[in-house]
Amino acid sequence: MEKQVKKDRSMLKEKDILAGYYHDLGHAKEENKKVVYTFVPGNMTELIRVFDAIPVYPEILALQSGMRRISDGKIRVAEEAGHSEDVCTYVKCHVGMILQENIGPTGMKLPDPDLLLCAYSGCFTFMKWFEILKKMFDCPIVMVHVPYQADGEITDGMRKYVTDQLKAEYIPVMEKLTGKKYDQDKMEKMMELSSSAEDDLVEVLQSAKNKPSPIDAFFGGVYYIGPIFNGFRGTVQCCDYYKLLKHEVNERIAKKLGPIGPEGEMKEKLRIVVEGAQPWVRFRDNWKVFYDEDVVCVGATYTKVGGFYEWGYRHDPKRPLDSMADYCMWCMPNMNLPQRVDLIEDYMRKFDADGFIVASIKSCNSYSAGQLAMLKEVEKRTGITGGFIEYDIVDSRYYSLANIKVRLESYFQMLNEKKREGRMN
């Protein structure tokens, strides 16, 4: 029987925010609200909400199905409809969800999209995903092509390429769809709120430099990024949440407390950085392995998939569209492999980590390609041996708790031995 743990006020507030979101979504059609299906990486939340439309993120619906352990049935429905076992399980889970009447996490039927908006080109599967949805729904589609950071920088030409598409293709479609004109003043105010929330989120993530860390950046980080990546960026609600979260984290720092884990407050024997995504189908079980071994994740790359702020990016009210273009290109999956290695090394050194783990996702070639090369490069730069585990995000057929537990416990044991001996290489 799982131990019930008292939740922080911020977690309860986030739960209320998301419940309100799905309530609004369930009543969107009767309230004449337009619904835009889009993706988390490079999302344009402010440019959706400026037209009073509601964003929906298919991959979040898939991961929520995984956390509730109902994703397997949806995946089977999609496979029975002809989708291959090798297809991204996010895609199959979402397709199966639609084929099963598109019921959301609160039990309400989700509305069909009025627009499909793909504003991220780093994953070819995302484009194919929306081609599938286009066949399932009778609605327009806008594909904003976003350049990849091949050389690790964003040029003026790349920025103009994206903003030109926003002005010529996306905004006119939204104006026609909603009957509302693009409101620059409203957009600037939303950008101010976004920037404020981002400041607070960065302060929370950087708090892991403390010993003990007051946060868990990988498992707990899922909750920290919820509102800012789940359609609330640019709102007062979002800012209020991050102010509360920052206050709670500062209280934990003052009391020298660790983060809240799956069964209460965590102790800190080892500090770990994680590259890779969560196994949503066994999220709590996976976290429990870390919890039982007193291992706290002080840095994580996955929580940057919807936006990377710790190297200085902020939404800018003085240049909203250019800023939005930068954001689309500045999400972590759009960074090249050297940048991703730099990110892991940066966490390792600045957060005084004892080790790092690379989590490879079976059905996500876009995210997992190159991870072994990254692991070897981080080992070379830091002199610290890395760990490697494999599973899938929402398909339990590719998750073995026993296997993961043995691998992680062996890795943690090795790090503890080296720490006792005073050597970490």
**pLDDT tens digits for 239-277?**
999 999 999 999 999 999 999 999 999 999 999 999 999
Q: What is the mean pLDDT of residues 379-388?
A: 97
pLDDT band at 33 (very low <50, low <70, confident <90, very high): very high
- At 162-200, the pLDDT tens digits run 999 999 999 999 999 999 999 999 999 999 999 999 999
pLDDT band at 4 (very low <50, low <70, confident <90, very high): low
Tell me the average pLDDT of the chain: 92
Query: What is the bridge-based pairing of β-strands 295-300 and 270-275?
Result: parallel
- At 334-351, the pLDDT tens digits run 888 999 999 999 999 999
Quick check: 266 and 55 in contact, CB under 8 A? no
Q: How high is the pLDDT of residue 12? A: 87
DSSP secondary-structure letter at 333?
A: G
pTM reported for the whole predicted model: 0.93
pLDDT band at 413 (very low <50, low <70, confident <90, very high): very high
Tell me the C-alpha distance between 127 and 130, whole Å: 5
Q: How high is the pLDDT of residue 204? A: 97
pLDDT band at 354 (very low <50, low <70, confident <90, very high): very high
- At 85-139, the pLDDT tens digits run 888 999 999 999 999 999 988 888 999 999 999 987 667 788 889 999 999 998 9
Burial code of 228-251, b = ≥16 C-beta within 10 A, e = fewer? bbbbbbbbebbbebbebbbebbee
Tell me the C-alpha distance between 257 and 252, whole Å: 5
Q: How high is the pLDDT of residue 191? A: 97
Q: How high is the pLDDT of residue 341? A: 96
Proportion of the chain above pLDDT 90, given as a percent: 75
Signed CA dihedral, 389, 393, 398, 401: sign only: positive
Q: How high is the pLDDT of residue 6? A: 65
Q: How high is the pLDDT of residue 276? A: 92
Q: How high is the pLDDT of residue 307? A: 83
**336's tokens:** 């090249």
Statement: residue 1 has pLDDT above 80: no
* Sequence-separated (6 or more) residues with CB below 8 Å from residue 347: 273, 298, 299, 353, 356
Statement: residue 316 has pLDDT above 90: yes
* Sequence-separated (6 or more) residues with CB below 8 Å from residue 232: 17, 21, 45, 238, 241
Tell me the C-alpha distance between 405 and 285, whole Å: 9
Quick check: 357 and 387 in contact, CB under 8 A? yes
Most confident of 41-50, 100-109, 288-297: 288-297
Q: How high is the pLDDT of residue 50? A: 97
Proportion of the chain above pLDDT 70, given as a percent: 97
Statement: residue 424 has pLDDT above 70: no
Task: Give Cα 166 to chain centroid, integer Å.
Answer: 23
Q: What is the mean pLDDT of residues 288-315?
A: 93
Kindly write down the DSSP assignment for every residue of 149-217, as one continuous string.
Answer: -TTS---HHHHHHHHHHIIIIIHHHHHHHHS----HHHHHHHHHHHHHHHHHHHHHHHGGGSSS-SS-T
Q: How high is the pLDDT of residue 150? A: 82
Give burial (CB, 10 Å; 0-12/13-18/19+) of 420.
exposed
HSE (CB half, 13 Å, CA atoms) of 410?
Answer: 10
Tell me the C-alpha distance between 54 and 77, whole Å: 27
Statement: residue 5 has pLDDT above 80: no
User: Measured in Å, how far apart are the chain's first and last C-alpha atoms?
Assistant: 39
Q: Please count the other Cβ atoms lying within 10 Å of the Cβ belonging to residue 29.
A: 14
Helix, coil or strand: residue 270: strand
* Sequence-separated (6 or more) residues with CB below 8 Å from residue 134: 116, 141
Tell me the C-alpha distance between 82 and 236, whole Å: 44
The region, left, alpha or beta by phi > 0 then psi within -120 to 50, assigned to residue 212 is beta
CA distances, 157 to each of 151, 165, 311, 325, 333 (Å) = 14, 13, 21, 11, 20
